[in-house]
Chains A and B, each alone.
Chain A
């Protein structure tokens, strides 16, 4: 732990990524994947991570040819111990991008969708399932509705129903913890532009320890929530001290059995971690039979499913906004201009707001691979010249699907930006 870290709250993991000096060749490859220049050390010298600049996204980890970066937080054995404890209900919260990646680690073709096998394997390990797609649906309803409120406030001067302050446009998505940390540490004036909605992981944790107590018949204190994410930054997000809403809610409603606050998410496993956990428990995911989720908390829509790709949150938000504003479902349902791997995608959508009987044009942008693409967009917003009303940002190239916690695909490069040589020097 870096005790000198200045950009973390008490209780947060101060930097999920570190570099093993003995494995580092000083080749600088990692620096080209780092969105914030957080990797220090001259070309040729052993590198290290400046935890205050680091977003914990893990892009250096999955791209270093020599396997030098590693995760400082590894709770696989702790989760296994909880799974063996009969008094604890361990809830696995599976992100959308996990189910299309974990199969690789069990010999299935890359990109195999293994939702049923994943459910089966998790149940065999002893997990209850809360599909994060369910929580992604909650997020998009919150985020989409929030956008409508902000847009109506900006266009029609509509006031908040509850008298609360309404944030400015453009509204940025807030699901990506690396992006949120970038705003907090580098562009704090943009914090009001971030959606106030929590990420699906954090919503899922709160749901598990409130509504979930009825589903699984256990008190919140006996529920151990495990985010299973394609992302190393989710480990940092879960450790944020403000994310104990379930405890606050249960305490307010007389349901808390203890005065000791508990987090909404107890720990986070990456896709790689879960794969390791299965292997330790001798569970072969590829050979498992398909199972279902077992409760309403594993039901979800197609909008939640596409969250893991760049453009997925925006497409889901537009579907929701369209339905709320027009009273009809978007047809066709797919909104293709925000799909694909272009660094910055933009589109305009004409919507008729039935409440005001007026047609409005919503300009949206989708940004991924922020190391390459975020700066011009942020500069426009800061200077007040941004043409956009709603902007989705995902840190990793391609979105969560290529997150720092995914299985490391040795035969490919995740570099999606400009193809140019490095010629490292300083």
Chain B
């Protein structure tokens, strides 16, 4: 029998942060690729850079606001993405069973995961470190390149390009799996809740150790 119970996976503050992240990082990634290859006319490149800057400012404000308003969520997020166990190695050994499931239509035994699986934790770490570096370097490159030591700006430019590519390529995987895991996609985009049974299957450690039942009937 399929349970109708749901679990609140993404609270409103996280969803708002993520909406703004979609609004800012997607344009940043697309314009960033254009700025890297410079395929457009001068006025189009200028517009591309202007969109990049505006999206960068939105991303910065989003990150600062979430850090201040949702500080408890930030702490939880940090605790979760930086918690490692032997299961993470086992998970990466089979890539979470996704290639088998998607390419071979075969289900394999996946090590028990917490709220985030090992791939999501790696992505989280990349977003945290890479995103912070991208924001910091982006502001220097935009506002202060003429005031900083030449070699420092050059290094920051290289870091900006490197992490931009890492996150942009990771974003493609994130988008694919985000939509593939359609319940999770709906939770993040719409109401924040995922079915209890799916959570128990995908994140059994989270459900067992962290989830508290609020009401037998409602959730």
Contact = CB atoms under 8 A, between A and B. Distances in A.
Do A and B actually bind?
A: yes
Interface of A: 25-29, 32-33, 41-46, 62-67, 408-413, 415, 419, 421-426
B149 A44 contact: no
A44 B49 contact: yes
B42 to A, nearest CB: 4
Q: How extensive is the interface on chain B, given as a class?
A: 20 to 34
Contacts of A33: 146
A379 B165 CA distance: 50
B150 A413 contact: yes
B42 A422 contact: no
B20 interface: no
B43 interface: yes
Interface in B100-145: 141-145
Contacts of A25: 35, 141, 157
Among B148, B150, B154, the one with the most A-chain Cβ atoms within 10 Å of its Cβ is: B150
B42 A413 contact: no
5 contacts: A25-B157, A41-B42, A44-B52, A410-B154, A425-B53
B46 interface: yes
A412 to B, nearest CB: 6
Given A43-B49, A422-B142, A66 B147 contact: no
B49 A29 contact: no
A212 to B, nearest CB: 39
Nearest to B158: A66
B151 interface: yes
A33 B146 CA distance: 8
A42 B149 contact: no
B38 A45 contact: yes
A413 B46 contact: no
A42 B42 contact: yes
Contact of A422 (B47, B145, B152, B154): B145
A122 B159 CA distance: 41
B35 A66 contact: no
Nearest to A419: B147
Contacts of A65: 145, 148, 150-151, 153-154, 157
Interface in B12-56: 35, 38, 42-43, 45-50, 52-53
Contacts of A413: 146-150
A154 B53 CA distance: 56
A43 B153 CA distance: 17
Given A26-B45, A413-B149, A44 B157 contact: no
B118 to A, nearest CB: 36
A426 to B, nearest CB: 7
A367 to B, nearest CB: 20
A422 B153 CA distance: 14
Nearest to B53: A425
Contacts of A419: 147
B150 A410 contact: yes
Contacts of A28: 145
A25 B35 CA distance: 8
Contacts of B43: 42, 45
Given A410-B151, A415-B147, A421-B147, 19 more contacts: A25-B35, A25-B141, A28-B145, A29-B145, A29-B146, A42-B46, A44-B35, A44-B52, A62-B150, A63-B146, A64-B150, A65-B154, A67-B154, A411-B150, A413-B149, A413-B150, A421-B143, A423-B143, A424-B142
Those 5 A-B pairs whose CB atoms lie nearest each other, nearest first: A44-B49, A410-B151, A65-B153, A42-B46, A29-B145
Contact of A46 (B38, B143, B146): B38
A250 to B, nearest CB: 45
Nearest to A27: B145
A27 B141 contact: yes
A201 B1 CA distance: 94
Among A27, A65, A67, A410, the one with the most B-chain Cβ atoms within 10 Å of its Cβ is: A65
A56 B154 CA distance: 23
B38 A29 contact: no
A28 B143 CA distance: 10
Given A29-B145, A29-B146, A33-B146, A44 B46 contact: yes
A422 B138 CA distance: 13
B10 to A, nearest CB: 35
A27 to B, nearest CB: 5
A426 B153 contact: no
Nearest to B143: A421
Nearest to A28: B145
Contacts of B149: 410-413
Contacts of B42: 41-42, 45-46
Contact of B46 (A32, A43, A409, A410): A43
B46 to A, nearest CB: 4
B163 to A, nearest CB: 16
A402 to B, nearest CB: 13
Contacts of B152: 411
Contact of A42 (B35, B45, B144, B151): B45
Given A66-B157, A413-B149, A421 B45 contact: no
A25 B142 CA distance: 11
A232 B144 CA distance: 26
Contacts of A46: 38, 42, 45
Contacts of A27: 141-142, 145
A44 B149 CA distance: 21
Given A27-B141, A29-B145, A423-B143, A63 B46 contact: no
B97 to A, nearest CB: 42
A65 B147 CA distance: 11
B146 A426 contact: no
A26 B157 CA distance: 12
